[in-house]
Amino acid sequence: MTSRQAGRVGTSTRILDISERVVQTKGFGCFSYADVAADLKITRAALHYHYPGKAELGEALIKRYSVRFDDALGAIESAGEAALAKLDAYIGLYADIVSQRRMCLCGMLAAEYETLPAPMQAEVVRFLDRNAHWLERVLEQGRSEGTMRLGGSASDTALLIVSALEGAMLVARPYGDIEKFRSTAAAMLSSLYGTHEPTRPAESARPAEPAGPG
């Protein structure tokens, strides 16, 4: 608590920042205390003071990520735009992650799901649920506005959007081609609503730091 006021960032936070980046890049299984210790220039043993074990660190990681994502969704919500603009801003959140050459944290953890400790598993499902439910409300708004024509139910379409975006991130990374994510997202919007504007991150709807829920 004492070390995180003012301009400085506390060690606990820096551990989360570094861990997050590594897990989003290499996965939780291939992530080790040594990665963090080397980057932070402290010993591995010191990490255990902040997080007793890898499981607890993983849990803190995903909880912070979920809160940030929820905040970003809330920011989009309170901007009070049309449903299509909200969907566009939502895609922008994912695009920001891809542009950092990362995978969505929970998408990565979803792949590793079977190997995760139970508390982390629960948090992954929770993240996916909250995303799908938020999208579901946006889709229903679009239906009310008459700007979206839903083929299936709002909940099926919401899950399709989450799946397509997570999958687009998964596929774009091996190609090393960030544009592939944008064109795939555009094709998705096109298939859903017959339009295909290029997708841009919604600058006003993102939290301050560091680059969205990243």
Partner DNA sequence: GTCTATAGGCAGATAGAC
Partner DNA sequence: GTCTATCTGCCTATAGAC
Q: Which residues bind its own copies (CB under 8 A)?
A: 25-27, 29-30, 103, 107-108, 110-115, 121, 124-125, 128, 151-153, 156-157, 159-160, 162-168, 170-171, 173-175, 180, 183-184, 186-188, 190-192, 194, 196
Nearer to DNA, 39 or 77 (CB): 39
Find the shortest distance in angstroms from Cβ 170 to its own copies: 5
Cis peptide bond prior to 198, omega within 30° of 0: no
Binds DNA (CB under 7 A): choice among 6, 45, 118, 208: 45
| Distance from C-alpha of 152 to C-alpha of 144, rounded to nearest angstrom | 15
Structure tokens, 73: 């969704």
65 lies in the binding site for DNA (CB under 7 A): no
Nearer to its own copies, 31 or 51 (CB): 31
10 lies in the binding site for DNA (CB under 7 A): yes
42 lies in the binding site for DNA (CB under 7 A): yes
9 lies in the binding site for DNA (CB under 7 A): no
Give the alpha-carbon dihedral of 134, 136, 139, 143, to 10 degrees.
Answer: -130
Residue 198 contact partner, candidates its own copies, DNA, none, CB within 5 to 8 A by sort of partner? none
| Distance from C-alpha of 124 to C-alpha of 37, rounded to nearest angstrom | 26
Find the shortest distance in angstroms from Cβ 60 to DNA: 13
Nearest to 158 by CA among 126, 131, 136: 136
| Distance from C-alpha of 56 to C-alpha of 139, rounded to nearest angstrom | 36
Residue 151 contact partner, candidates DNA, its own copies, none, CB within 5 to 8 A by sort of partner? its own copies
Binds DNA (CB under 7 A): choice among 32, 121, 155, 184: 32
Nearer to DNA, 11 or 184 (CB): 11
For residues 167-191, one letter each, b for 16 or more C-beta atoms within 10 angstroms of the residue's C-beta and e for the rest, the string is ebbbebbeeeeeebbbebbbebbee
| Distance from C-alpha of 15 to C-alpha of 57, rounded to nearest angstrom | 9
186 lies in the binding site for DNA (CB under 7 A): no
Structure tokens, 25: 């890049």
